[in-house]
Every structure is written in structure tokens, then in C-alpha cells.
Amino acid sequence: MAEALSTGLGEEKEKEDREREKKAATAGKNKEKDGVTETLGFNDKNGASRGKKSNLSDLSLVRFITTELTRGYFLEHNEAKYTERRERVYTCLRIPKELEKLMTFGFFLCLDAFLYVFTLLPLRVILALLRLFTVPCCGLSGSRLLQPAQVCDVLKGFIMVLCYSMMSYVDYAMMYHLIRGQSVIKLYIIYNMLEVADRLFSSFGQDILDALYWTATEPKEKKRAHIGVIPHFLMAVLYVFLHAILIMVQATTLNVAFNSHNKSLLTIMMSNNFVEIKGSVFKKFEKNNLFQMSNSDIKERFTNYILLLIVCLRNMEQFSWNADHLWVLFPDVVMVIASEVAVDVVKHAFITKFNDISADVYGEYRASLAFDLVSSRQKNAYTDYSDSVSRRMGFIPLPLALLLIRVVTSSVKIQGSLSFMCVLLFYLGMITLKVLNSIVLLGTSCVFVKEANMEEKLFDPPPSVASSRANSRAHRTKHVHVSPQQGTDKGETSLPSDICQPTNTAENAAPSFPKSDSDTFLTTPDDEDDDKIINADTGLEGGGLAHRPPKKDLLEIDRFTICGNRID
């Protein structure tokens, strides 16, 4: 028994010794693993001195400066990011060139519509009146007295004559001294109010003129749904007169700013252009919104040029047409033009940067404006070119032309036969300029239309009343629901959102026209195409509900440019 107990105790001691050895071995391994951290934390008593020496050498100032000077990094690890940044810089550098191309083309478009009022419109009115008086005398009772275009020309001529007779009673000198007596702050507020009022008048004025033209030329067999031609004519006369007065006050305020001694008012008015950058740059823009803003800038720049011409004429009259005074006005004129150009460049550069819009979009805008000019020369044209420019850019030439005629007739005195000969030569020169400008614009527009592959659209019929109403309703509210069965029956596949014209078997059988990026952008998708686009954007392959306004065609964007950046 004793031997058994002694052997049992011996085995227990051996087990305890083995366990102690195992614990000691594991503890030693843990110390070896934690040796680095203990050394860094100054917990290792044995290697404390060695840790202090290594840390002091690592944290030396020379080593830190050397590391900062020799530290490297690799940009190619994020190649896509830096490539995108470089493209943004290149886009901003291309914006001034592309924008000024669009502005120059738009300026000559406005000039062509403006010269039409002085040159060809009087001749067309005379031809229409001759036809009106000669057709009944010749016994041609079966033929129509006047064509619709001739009726519109006669109405424009009567509006200009009546408004000019009303403008002759407005005293420009009294208006100038009345405005000059106001304080600088009042004049600044007045000028801003006039700019807003000019946009509102332009947005509603073309509607008044279009309503008058359609009321006068509407087929008589249709049911009468208007108040009559005479009320519409009186409304048009009142609008043109009030708009001309508004532009006259605007030109007078600018003239007061030019003639002020300290030029403080002119400086404040120029700083108002830079406030425009703050109101537009930090907003979200799409291509259609930018097209509206570009049209508005073209119209604003051309109007400012005419206002500067009026100011120069009035000042030259006051100084008896002394050529030396023109050089006194020249620096202020250059400052106004330079500030306008600088504001437009900065505004468009940052809008395209913040909204990731390519500079090539301005080429599409030029093609869209060129399409208006080319389509107005077709046999099936349903509007005059000057009216299409008015709807597209909000530039209505009648009030501005009326004011310029009023200023010129009051500033220049015509006496004697030599003066009449000079006026006749000047008129012939204006006709020559109008014809040459129209020829060059037409050739340039044809080139732009061909580059954009938009020739096939020239032969499209004009939209009917029913289709235009249906499209307007579709633009307002549109709910799309496509079931999986319908999608599989039709064999439709989801398309990318930037493709507006799907391809099917019928189109493959017909001869296809060459397509480009501008052509796809300038095309409005149909209802079936919208379903595909919305399903592709929302990821609804089979069925689902989507509420999204469709993209507008550039060719459908018109006078809404006057009201800012709003698209209904």
C-alpha cells in the first residue's frame, strides 16, 4: 500500500512539473513575440537602452527632412482620375473659342433679321399693296388677293408706321434729363428692372405677333375661335410701342452712365454682369438648358451693341458730330463690350466644367440654328426666318428697329437733294449688306447641317395641331408601364440612355442615313423609344413605374430662353 501511494504521488509530481515546463515554454514564446512591441513601449527592461537608441535615430530631424525630400508617389495608380481632370482643363481652354464661334454665328443671324426690317420688308410691303390694288382692277376675282406671307408683311408695315407716328410724340431730351436727375442707386435699380421687363416683354410679345399673323391668315372655312383681327392688331401695336419705349429708357440710362463725371454708374452697371455669374454657375444645367442660355446671351449681346450705337449717335449729335468726341466714348464702349465677353466666357466655362458638358456641344447648337435658316428657305416652310429667330432667341427686331429709326431721324437732319441722294445710297448699301450676309449665312448653314447629318429633317412635314397638343401633354406628365410579356412579345431590348432612335427590322430594310452624335442628340424620341430609355435608366427590364420628363429636341426650344433656364 505504501509503495502504491508513493508511486501515485510521484506520478502526480511529474505531471505538475511537465505542466509547469509547458507554461514556462509558452510564456517564453509570448515574450519573444512581444519583444518588439515591448521594446517600442519601453517595457523590456533588458532592451530598454537599445530601444531608446533606435527610436532617437528614427525620430531625428535630419531623417524626417530626408524622408520628406525623397518621398515618392505614383500618379499612374489613379490614371482615370487625372485623365479626367486634364480633359476638364482642355475643355475650359476650348470654351472661349467654341463659344465665340457660336456667338459670331448668332450675331450675324440677328443682324440678318434686323436688316430685313429696313431693307426687304418695305419692298415686300410695296409689292403686296400693288398686288392688292391691281388684282381687283384686272378682273382676277377667282385668285386670292394676298398670299399669307404678304398679309403678314402688310401687318408688319402698318405696325411700324403707326408706332413710329406714336413715337414722334415722345421727347427724348426730357426723358434724358429726368433720368439724369435721379441718384446713382435709383438708376442702378431702374436699369435692373428694365432688363427684367425686357425679358418679360420679349417672352409675351412674339406670342402676340404670332396670334395676329395666324388670325389674319387662318382659313375662313374654319369655325371662328378668336376675337377678330382688329383687336389682335391693336394689341400688337400697343406691345411694339411699349417695348420700344422700354428700350428707349434703357438706352437713356446707359447714356447717362456714359456722361457721368466719375463713371460710378457705369462701373456699377458693369459689375451687374458679374453678378450674373453667381446666379447661373452654381446651378445644374443640361445641354438643353445651356442651349437656352446661349441663345439668350446672343440676343443680349446684339441688343447691347444696338444700344451702344444709339448712345454714340445721341452723343455725337450733342457735340455737332465732332469726330474727336468719338475717341472719348471709345474706352467706355470697349469696357462694356469686354466685360460682356468676359462674363460670358467665364460663365460658360464653369457651367460646362461643373456639369461635365463637352465643348463640342456648341457645334450642335450652331447646327440647330443653321437648321432654322435652311428650313425657312424650303418650299414647305411654315414661318419666316425673322420670326423663327424671334422664337428661338427671343430677339424681336420690330421694337429695336423702331427705336433706331426714331433716333436716326431725330439726330440726322435731311435737307436738300444731296442729302436725299446720300440716304438713297445708304439704303442701297444696306440692301447689299443684307444680301451678302444672307448668302454667306445660307452657305455656312448648309455646311453645318450636312456636318450634323440633319438633311433628312428638312423634308419632314410641319407638326399638326393634334400632334403638338399630344406632345405637350406628354411633356407635362408621363407615366410609363411596360409588362414583361409585352417586352418579350415585341422583342425589345434595353438601350443606353443616350441613344434616341432604336433600330428594328423595318428600318434595316429601308436605306439608312449616316448618323452622328449630334444627330442623335438633336432627335426627339418617340413614345415607344422613351419607354426603352426609361427602362434602361431605372433598371426595369420587365415591368415597373417611371415618371420622368422626356428629353426635348433642340429644334423645339424657342422663346423659353427669355425666362431663364426653365424647361416645362
Could you count the other beta carbons within 10 Å of the beta carbon of residue 328?
12
pLDDT value of position 165: 93
In this predicted structure, which of 95-99, 188-192, 495-499 has the lowest mean pLDDT? 495-499
Q: Is the pLDDT of residue 397 over 80?
A: yes
Average pLDDT over residues 313-334: 86
DSSP-derived secondary structure letter, 412: S
Contact of 110 with 395, CB cutoff 8 Å: yes
- The enclosing H or E element of 545 equals strand 545-547
User: Using CA of residue 6, residue 9, residue 14, residue 17, what is the dihedral sign?
Assistant: negative
pTM for the complete prediction? 0.71
Instruction: Give the 3-state secondary structure of residue 316.
Output: helix
Residue 155's DSSP bridge partners are none
Q: Is the pLDDT of residue 75 over 70?
A: yes
What is the C-alpha separation between 191 and 183, in angstroms, rounded? 12
pLDDT digits (tens, 9 = 90+) for 287-302: 888 998 999 999 999 9
In this predicted structure, which of 148-162, 312-326, 494-508 has the lowest mean pLDDT? 494-508
Average pLDDT over residues 135-159: 79
Write the CA distances from 95 to 83, 284, 288, 333, 353, integer angstroms: 18, 18, 17, 24, 10
pLDDT value of position 457: 74
- Select from 101, 114, 108, 121 the least CA-distant residue to 440: 108
Q: Which amino acid is at 353?
A: K
What is the C-alpha separation between 343 and 351, in angstroms, rounded? 12
pLDDT digits (tens, 9 = 90+) for 446-460: 999 998 888 777 766
What is the C-alpha separation between 363 and 452, in angstroms, rounded? 9
pLDDT value of position 307: 92
Measured between its terminal Cα atoms, the distance across the chain in Å is 109
Q: Is the pLDDT of residue 203 over 90?
A: no
Grid cell 513601449 is found at 41
Q: Is the pLDDT of residue 86 over 90?
A: no
pLDDT value of position 37: 43
Q: Is the pLDDT of residue 530 over 70?
A: no
pLDDT digits (tens, 9 = 90+) for 243-274: 999 999 999 988 888 888 777 777 777 777 77
Residue 547's DSSP bridge partners are 479
DSSP-derived secondary structure letter, 378: S
Contact of 524 with 551, CB cutoff 8 Å: yes
What is the C-alpha separation between 376 and 384, in angstroms, rounded? 6
- Select from 358, 346, 290 the least CA-distant residue to 88: 358
**Local confidence band at 552 (pLDDT 50, 70, 90 cut-offs):** low
**Local confidence band at 123 (pLDDT 50, 70, 90 cut-offs):** very high
What is the C-alpha separation between 499 and 533, in angstroms, rounded? 8
Contact partners, residue 32, CB within 8 Å, separation at least 6: none
In this predicted structure, which of 13-17, 232-236, 399-403, 464-468 has the lowest mean pLDDT? 464-468
DSSP assignment string, 471-533: HHHHHH--EEE--HHHHHHHT-----TT--S---HHHHHSPPPP--HHHHHT----HHHHHHH
What is the C-alpha separation between 426 and 474, in angstroms, rounded? 51
**Local confidence band at 283 (pLDDT 50, 70, 90 cut-offs):** confident
Q: Is the pLDDT of residue 56 over 80?
A: no
What is the C-alpha separation between 390 and 334, in angstroms, rounded? 27
- Select from 175, 126, 114 the least CA-distant residue to 150: 126
Q: Is the pLDDT of residue 140 over 50?
A: yes
Grid cell 449688306 is found at 433
**Local confidence band at 560 (pLDDT 50, 70, 90 cut-offs):** very low
Q: What is the mean pLDDT of the chain?
A: 75
In this predicted structure, which of 260-274, 375-389, 463-477, 489-503 has the lowest mean pLDDT? 489-503
Longest dimension (CA), the chain: 159
Burial of 94 (0-12, 13-18, 19+ CB in 10 A): middle
DSSP-derived secondary structure letter, 285: -
- Select from 47, 17, 49 the least CA-distant residue to 32: 47
- Residue 132 corresponds to which cell in the numbers above? 392688292
pLDDT value of position 310: 93
Contact partners, residue 361, CB within 8 Å, separation at least 6: 287, 290, 352
Q: Higher-confidence residue: 397 or 2?
A: 397
Burial of 109 (0-12, 13-18, 19+ CB in 10 A): buried
pLDDT digits (tens, 9 = 90+) for 342-364: 999 999 998 988 888 888 899 99
Q: Is the pLDDT of residue 561 over 90?
A: no
Q: Which amino acid is at 566?
A: R
Residue 546's DSSP bridge partners are 480
**Local confidence band at 119 (pLDDT 50, 70, 90 cut-offs):** very high
What is the C-alpha separation between 287 and 361, in angstroms, rounded? 8
